[in-house]
Amino acid sequence: MSSLCWLFCLSLFLPVAKAEDQNPNKETPVLSAKKISDDEIRVFVDDAFFAAYRSDYKGTPIVWPICGIDQTLATRAWPMIDDVDVDAEQDPEMKTIYQNAVVSERGGVKDHPHHRSLWFNHGNVLGGDFWGGTPSVIKQSRLLNLQCDGDTVRVQTENYWHNDKLNRDVCRDVRDVVFGVLFIGDKLVRYLDFSVEVFALEDGVVFGDTKEGSFGIRVPSPTAMTSKKIDPQWGGSILNDQGDEGGATWGKRSKWVNYVGPAERFLTGKELEQEYAKDASAKDFPLTQMGIAVLSGPTSLGQPAWRHVRDYGLFASNPFGQRDFEPNNPDANGERKLNKGDSMTFNFRVLFHSGNLTPDELNQAYQNYVK
């Protein structure tokens, strides 16, 4: 696999974890990046596809597809896969991924089209809804840096928040997304560190108190708890650091939340060919177990964030929606007001694992992250 990678001044970046930091006796996978364009960066682990950073999908930057351990597709492929001409794809590896994406969502619920794999925006910024798929959009202005050193790949971009109701840009952000691998005990996981600093371009920029935000992930359809109603072999579970489970995790401030469940087993060769040829209503594709854990960052606004995590598959972290999350608190007010030049910082670590991390291992992973 040929890759294009640029090394930039490393002093611009914060330190990141390396796989050997937690298990020095294990062989460290090598990460690389391929710049398709300023709008798409693909990341690889030992030449196997990991993830693609995309500057825009219908109004917001996203990361999709994302392949976890054993190449399992770790986020919902819909609606993005509907805009891919799978059969015309010329890159064999990407064609295999897209075909798996089609299979993985057979029978899945096609709700909330604004849930786009992995993303960051907010539902009320000076009255503009950047969350719900409206004409208020976030557009990349430039790719600032692409840096890879074998241990990690780092993508840094500048983006502007255009409020359609006001017909002007109201915010600028700088996103810093790091892709890597690490060991938690003897378990290898892939991770994504997401950090964004949002700057106000004028006085009085208010991020409103609403549950509709902000750092979002949508798990694959079979993983969602409620998908058991579709197929008895489907349906996952949710756990946070306080021991809350399922729906009880919603609206809680948590250091980490772990969403675990079945997902399509990544297929290749003849097996993929046979599955891909099946009718769109077929749901009996092979399954494996996968998990996603989201750790709240040490310098993130509102740390630890409230969790807008739903049994139907939304997995969001939101530092603003206090009135929704604490309806019995008369003093609840999660809105934030910025004047021109003021900024807010948000950061999260996402672990893509095999669904077998214990609470003790997740607690240790959180401590290692905040250090």
Tell me: the pLDDT tens digits for 324-340?
Answer: 999 999 999 999 999 99
**Cα–Cα distance measured from residue 72 to residue 222, given in angstroms and rounded to the nearest whole number:** 12
Q: Quick one: pLDDT at residue 28?
A: 83
Give the pLDDT of residue 1. Answer: 38
Report d(CA 310, CA 297) in Å as an integer: 21
Residue 24 pLDDT: 54
pLDDT at 281: 81
**Strand partners of residue 349:** 193, 295
Residue 25 falls inside a structural domain: yes
Place of tokens 């060991």: 183
Residue 117 pLDDT class (50, 70, 90 cuts)? very high
Give the pLDDT confidence score for residue 85 in this predicted structure.
Answer: 98
Question: Which residues fall within 8 angstroms of residue 343, CB to CB, at 6 or more apart?
Answer: 197, 198, 199, 200
Order of strands, sheet of 213-218, starting from the edge strand that comes earlier in the sequence:
31-37, 40-45, 48-54, 62-66, 118-122, 213-218, 314-318, 306-309
- 69-96, pLDDT tens digit by residue? 999 999 999 999 999 999 999 999 999 9
What is the rounded distance in angstroms from the CA atom of residue 310 to the CA atom of residue 238? 9
Q: How confident is the model at residue 310 (pLDDT cuts 50, 70, 90)?
A: very high
Candidates 43, 112, 83; CA nearest to 316 is 112
* pLDDT of the residue at 27: 78
Residue 126 confidence (pLDDT): 98
Report how far residue 47's alpha carbon sits from residue 284's, in angstroms, rounded to the nearest whole number: 30
- Structure-block tokens of residue 229: 């109603």
Q: What is the mean pLDDT of residues 58-64?
A: 98
In 3D, which of 271, 294, 305 has the Cα closest to residue 352? 294
* Percent of the chain residues topping a pLDDT of 70: 93
Q: What is the pLDDT of residues 2-31, one digit of tens each?
A: 334 433 333 333 444 555 455 555 678 999
Residue 291 lies in a domain: yes
Instruction: Tell me whether residue 43 is in a domain.
Output: yes
Q: Average pLDDT in the 285-292 region?
A: 98
The chain-wide mean pLDDT, for the chain, equals 93
Q: Is 1 inside any structural domain?
A: no
Q: What are phi and psi of 159, to 5 degrees?
A: -140, 150
**What are the helix and strand counts (H, E) for the chain?**
5, 18
CB atoms closer than 10 angstroms to residue 258 = 27
How far, in Å, CA of 316 to CA of 306, rounded? 9
Res. 46: pLDDT tops 60: yes
Is the residue at 5 inside a domain?
no
State the helix-helix crossing angle for 92-104 and 269-276, rounded to 10 degrees.
50
> Considering the domain boundaries, does residue 7 fall inside one?
no
What's the structural domain count of the chain? 1
231/76 Cα distance (integer angstroms): 17
CA proximity to 158, closest of 189, 196, 106, 112: 196
The pLDDT of 222-229, averaged and rounded, is 97
User: DSSP character for 273?
Assistant: H
Partnered with residue 54 across adjacent β-strands are 40, 62
HSE-CB for 85 with a 13 A CA cutoff: 3
- Which has the higher per-residue pLDDT, 14 or 212? 212
The structure's pTM equals 0.94
Q: Is 12 inside a domain boundary?
A: no
User: β-strand 306-309 against 314-318: which pairing, if any?
Assistant: antiparallel
Residue 11 falls within a domain, yes or no? no
> Which one, of 243, 233, 248, 244, lies nearest residue 311 by Cα?
248
| Rounded CA separation 55/148 (Å) | 19
**Across residues 153-179, what is the average pLDDT?**
98
Residue 235 has pLDDT above 60, yes or no: yes
pLDDT of the residue at 94: 98
Domain residues for the domain of 341 are 19-370
**Residue 139 to residue 163: CA distance in whole angstroms:** 11
